[in-house]
Amino acid sequence: MTTTPVLEAIDETQETQGKQPLNVIYEWLTTVDHKKIGLMYIVYALIFLVIGGFEAILMRIQLAIPNNHFVSPQVFNQLFTMHGTTMVFFMGMPILFGMGNYLVPLMIGARDMAFPRLNAFSFWISAFAGLLLYFSYIGGSGLYAAGSAPDVGWFAYAPLTSKVFSPGHSTDYWTLAVFLSGIGSIGTALNIVTTILCMRCKGMKMSRMPLLPWLYLVMSCLVFVAVSPLTAAQVMLTLDRYLGAHFFDTQAGGSAILWMHFFWIFGHPEVYVLVLPAFAFANEIIPVFSRKAMFGYPAMVAASVSIGFISLSVWAHHMFTAGLGPAGNTFFVFATMVISVPTGIKIFNWLATIWGGKIIFAVPMMFMIGFLFQFLIAGLTGIMLSAAPFDWQLSASYFVVAHFHYVLVGAIVFSLFSAFYYWYPKVTGKMMSETLGKWHFWLFLIGFHLTFDFMHVPGILGMPRRIYTYEAGRGWDTLNFIIGIGAIFQAAGTLVLVYNMIHSYYKGKDAGHDPWDAWTLEWSVPSPPPSYNFAIEPTVNSRRPLWDIKHPEDPDSDYES
């Protein structure tokens, strides 16, 4: 096996010619390079993370003490609607698509995505959708009264969204923004699937592909069958509101339950759309920091694919209290519980990877360990809620809020932070500060547990979600105060991260090609990678091509069939 030095060559030629700001802006606005688009996704999502987080803080201030009048009830409704919509559609999806955009072509040895211009289109339409949603804050009753921002919840249950209950245009902004972001998501998903299936480098059979592209493949396929129904439902809602159609108009025989079905056919798989990339990061980071190959690669792939399939048959567990009847409830209880089998396989495989490894407790690994614990707890409360009788007691209480924030923040955001620290050196060529990273980790971990551990309790004590304020003396006061403190800790941790990213960009020490001694293809190119990624298209012989180079005496290809 001969090896050839790669790269170095095309580095300078592709960089910006002039350094004038206008040129740089023009270059970013017109770029079709998957790395730049990925970065734009991430920056855009981080902006929305700060906005959505700010909304969360406002809500926690409002609920910190009983009988509070910090914001008006209307503003509170708008806050939780905007917080949910922002975090799912304009923070979660874009940031994960951004990571995928950046990493997938690098990891499969491709020079760009399959359809670069479609990629740029998908980004800009998603960005426009986010702006459209927040444009609703301007106009209407003005900025202080929070304009005419949508106030129907991120689930937009009928008939709350009908013209009678939701006059004005707030719901239309919501519908259009979600619709457009859906178009962008489907475009990006299409691009990722095509890239993975058609652009892999020589020798990278599906059975040799790193697990991150595998999980993005499953996630993207899920986007087709999950986000498209939402897009269809948004069209129906718009027809209802603008042309007087009756899809969800109960006065004309339409059904509000049908909207719930359509929404949750999207809404539940959406959780897996968000969590599969989080798994993908774990699959790449845990082995590297345990200094072992991933345990049970085929089982991981099989588990991911089956999660994709099963997640399509569980949506009605969000509707146990809507009156589906015993047969429907039983089916969805079992379907929901079945999903814990492949998820359990994943958790055990991660543990088996760590087991006996030479663990390096760098910041990415610390976040990963947090991810493993919190994802486990989130799964356990998930099993509780998937039992219909239990759900009848706790539906629409803070217990549910605590459960899904455990998944979304405890699992997905922790995994995402880990990925930030892990791939930041590749993206910028600089290491992030470990000290600041540890500050970020501990602040965020403490804040997370203060907020979401305690949030289960008022739920069990009967505190409903989405309430504007509450009476004193119901046993919720202290708990809500602690929850509010936790939220502030989390915000502080996130600000440390943002500071760390900016600070390290200018002051960080040089990372070199491969600071973590990792094994996948993205670490074979310079940091940051040049425009065309690979000067010579690579050929791979195993799942860990860089291991083979570093250890020619003991290559992986000898062990893989």
CB of 517 to other proteins, least distance (A): 4
Q: What residue has token string 């006996």?
A: 356
What is the number of other CB atoms lying within 10 angstroms of the CB of residue 358?
Answer: 8
Residue 123 or residue 489: which is nearer to other proteins going by CB? 123
Residue 54 or residue 121: which is nearer to other proteins going by CB? 121
Q: How far apart are CA 349 and CA 369, in angstroms?
A: 14
Residue 412 or residue 546: which is nearer to other proteins going by CB? 546
Q: How far apart are CA 217 and CA 189, in angstroms?
A: 8
Tokens of 337: 């519980």
CB of 525 to other proteins, least distance (A): 7
The rounded Cα 329 to chain-centroid distance in angstroms is 29
CB of 225 to other proteins, least distance (A): 5
CB of 542 to other proteins, least distance (A): 10
465 torsion bin: left (phi>0), alpha (psi -120 to 50), beta (else)? beta
Q: How far apart are CA 497 and CA 493, in angstroms?
A: 6
The residue among 457, 496, 509, 494 whose CA lies nearest residue 479 is 457
312 torsion bin: left (phi>0), alpha (psi -120 to 50), beta (else)? alpha
Residue 431 or residue 501: which is nearer to other proteins going by CB? 431
Residue 5 or residue 326: which is nearer to other proteins going by CB? 5
Identify whether the C-beta of residue 362 lies closer than 8 Å to the C-beta of residue 291. no
Residue 348 or residue 442: which is nearer to other proteins going by CB? 442
Could you tell me how many residues make up the chain? 561
Cα distance between the two ends of the chain: 19
Q: How far apart are CA 365 and CA 358, in angstroms?
A: 12
CB of 447 to other proteins, least distance (A): 25
CB of 552 to other proteins, least distance (A): 10
Residue 65 or residue 436: which is nearer to other proteins going by CB? 436
Residue 310 or residue 525: which is nearer to other proteins going by CB? 525
Q: How far apart are CA 17 and CA 172, in angstroms?
A: 44
Residue 80 or residue 519: which is nearer to other proteins going by CB? 519
What is the number of other CB atoms lying within 10 angstroms of the CB of residue 218?
Answer: 26
Q: How far apart are CA 511 and CA 527, in angstroms?
A: 7
Q: How far apart are CA 121 and CA 503, in angstroms?
A: 31
CB of 555 to other proteins, least distance (A): 10
CB of 82 to other proteins, least distance (A): 26
Q: For residue 103, give the 3-state DSSP assignment.
A: helix
Residue 76 or residue 89: which is nearer to other proteins going by CB? 89
CB of 180 to other proteins, least distance (A): 15
| Helices of type H across 291-356 | 297-310, 326-338, 340-354
CB of 207 to other proteins, least distance (A): 12
Q: For residue 246, give the 3-state DSSP assignment.
A: coil
Residue 68 or residue 194: which is nearer to other proteins going by CB? 194
Identify whether the C-beta of residue 231 lies closer than 8 Å to the C-beta of residue 185. no
CB of 529 to other proteins, least distance (A): 11
Residue 537 or residue 554: which is nearer to other proteins going by CB? 537
Element (H, E) at 360: none
* Upper half-sphere CA count for residue 542 (Cβ side, 13 Å): 19
CB of 360 to other proteins, least distance (A): 7
* Upper half-sphere CA count for residue 285 (Cβ side, 13 Å): 28
Enumerate residues 6+ apart whose C-beta is below 8 A from 145. 72, 74, 75
